[in-house]
């Protein structure tokens, strides 16, 4: 079987190999790494929002290496221009013509570091790239390499010299993740690992490549989603629009994201069908950044994550499909 046609079982096996290799560099983050890989499989972009020094850049670099993707990094600063991101036409003295100089966005995995440190005009330069996989300059549309994944980081506690991400751009991120501090035992393991390898940066092997990753994404379409689970997704999305603490609820893009991410969760758990727990496990990461809380909640330090989490608990969970036991469990009957 070629890279162009992969089964969910093959994809699940490859995902385990990818996670094992990335975990050689990123210690104690297995669940977080699973979520990042789920987002990549689902064909989306990921916002890593956390404190400095918690491994966000290392995670991006490690995935780029292990997935065999071209990698570029943009350090967002207040003086960064849109042309510094997407590129600009330059005058070629040899040919006396204007020649387009591609920006760092022309890559496969882009690390947008501290994306909230640049003004909205420059942030908006990424909108077309993230939404459509292309950029338009001087009336010419240029496709980006595929796959194209943006892993963006921002710092949630610094406000001086930062800019709020526009709602339109937040909605382009398939999910937002927050890792938090490692457990003391895991942090001790990280320190020991650093001593053992005797170098700052770990040496990781490429487990796959861009062609196979596209085939792995395609295999996600073979994961079944029952009608009652689609209704469950819609109940959650609708609840965000009617919740008294939420001023603006999730867009239809939020429902699409929730379905695709749930399929990714099912695949990582070696199933070719989605269950309610897959949706619950991913719902906060998929929806919390898409809602706008009422202004008074900011004063009370209520987070969108907590509101969406409580909302999910209140939405009735559908009964598990009784035919699920007869479906394929990868590794046994596939």
In a domain, 331, yes or no: no
Do residues 170 and 250 lie in contact, with contact meaning Cβ atoms separated by under 8 Å?
no
pLDDT at 138 over 90: no
Helix axes 8-22, 210-219, angle to 10 degrees: 130
pLDDT of residue 1: 42
pLDDT of residue 320: 63
pLDDT of residue 4: 59
Helix, strand or coil, per DSSP, at residue 162: coil
Task: Give this prediction's pTM.
Answer: 0.86
In a domain, 333, yes or no: no
Do residues 103 and 84 lie in contact, with contact meaning Cβ atoms separated by under 8 Å?
yes
Per-residue tokens: 311: 């909302």
Same domain, 47 and 73: yes
CB atoms within 10 A of CB 252: 9
Mean pLDDT within 238-258:
89
Same domain, 307 and 243: yes
**Whole-number average pLDDT of the chain:** 85
CA distance 272 to 268: 10
Domain boundary residue, one of 191, 222, 253: 222
All residues at 6 or more sequence positions from 16 whose CB lies less than 8 Å from its CB, including other chains: none
Same domain, 21 and 97: yes
Q: How confident is the model at residue 328 (pLDDT cuts 50, 70, 90)?
A: low
CA distance 279 to 265: 8
CA distance 109 to 73: 9
Q: Domain tally for the chain? A: 2
Mean pLDDT within 208-214:
92
pLDDT in tens, 54-86: 678 888 889 999 999 999 999 988 888 888 888
pLDDT in tens, 155-183: 766 555 567 777 777 888 999 998 877 78
In a domain, 325, yes or no: no
pLDDT in tens, 143-157: 999 999 999 988 766
pLDDT of residue 322: 44
In a domain, 326, yes or no: no
Same domain, 122 and 23: yes
pLDDT of residue 39: 94
Domain hosting residue 289, numbered range: 223-319
Q: What CATH number has the domain bearing residue 214?
A: 3.40.50.300
pLDDT of residue 100: 84
pLDDT of residue 201: 73
CA distance 222 to 227: 15
Domain boundary residue, one of 222, 242, 272: 222
CA angle in degrees (0–180, nearest 5) for 169-172-178: 90
pLDDT of residue 123: 81
- Which position has the higher pLDDT, 38 or 96? 38
CA distance 131 to 177: 19
In a domain, 165, yes or no: yes
54: phi then psi, degrees, rounded to nearest 5: -100, 15
CA distance 125 to 252: 23
- How far from 262 is each of 38, 124, 331, CA to CA, in Å? 9, 28, 20
CA distance 219 to 132: 21
Do residues 202 and 9 lie in contact, with contact meaning Cβ atoms separated by under 8 Å?
no
Same domain, 280 and 247: yes
pLDDT at 304 over 90: no
Peptide bond into 147 cis (omega under 30): yes
Helix, strand or coil, per DSSP, at residue 77: coil
Q: What CATH number has the domain bearing residue 281?
A: 1.10.8.80
Domain boundary residue, one of 222, 256, 280: 222
């Amino acid at each position: 079987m070629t890279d162009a046609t992969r089964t969910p079982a093959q994809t699940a096996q490859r995902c385990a190999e990818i996670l094992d290799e990335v975990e050689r560099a990123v210690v104690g983050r297995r669940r977080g790494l699973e979520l990042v890989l789920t987002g990549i499989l689902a064909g989306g972009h990921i916002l890593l929002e956390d404190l400095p020094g918690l491994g966000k850049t290392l995670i991006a670099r490690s995935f780029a290496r292990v997935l065999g993707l071209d990698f570029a990094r943009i350090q967002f600063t207040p003086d960064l221009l849109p042309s510094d991101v997407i590129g600009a036409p330059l005058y070629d003295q040899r040919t006396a013509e204007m020649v387009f100089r591609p920006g760092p966005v022309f890559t496969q995995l882009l690390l947008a570091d501290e994306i909230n440190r640049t003004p909205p005009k420059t942030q908006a330069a990424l909108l077309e790239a993230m939404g459509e996989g292309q950029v338009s300059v001087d009336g010419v549309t240029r496709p980006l390499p595929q796959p194209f994944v943006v892993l963006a980081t921002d710092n949630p506690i610094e406000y001086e010299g930062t800019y709020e991400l526009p709602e339109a751009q937040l909605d382009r991120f398939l999910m937002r993740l927050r890792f938090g501090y490692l457990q003391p035992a895991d942090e001790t393991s990280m320190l020991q690992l650093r001593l053992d390898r005797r170098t700052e940066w770990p040496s990781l092997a490429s487990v796959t490549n861009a062609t196979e990753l596209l085939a792995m994404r395609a295999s996600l379409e073979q994961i079944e989603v029952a009608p009652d689970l689609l209704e469950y997704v819609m109940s959650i999305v609708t609840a965000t629009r009617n919740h008294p603490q939420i001023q603006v609820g999730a867009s239809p893009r939020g429902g699409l994201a929730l379905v695709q991410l749930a399929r990714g969760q099912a695949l990582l758990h070696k199933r070719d069908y989605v269950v309610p727990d897959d949706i619950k496990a991913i719902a906060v990461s998929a929806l919390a950044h898409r809602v706008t809380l009422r202004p008074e909640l900011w004063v009370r330090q209520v987070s969108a994550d907590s509101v969406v989490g409580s909302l999910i608990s209140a939405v009735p969970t559908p009964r598990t499909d009784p035919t699920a036991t007869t479906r394929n469990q990868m590794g046994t009957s596939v």
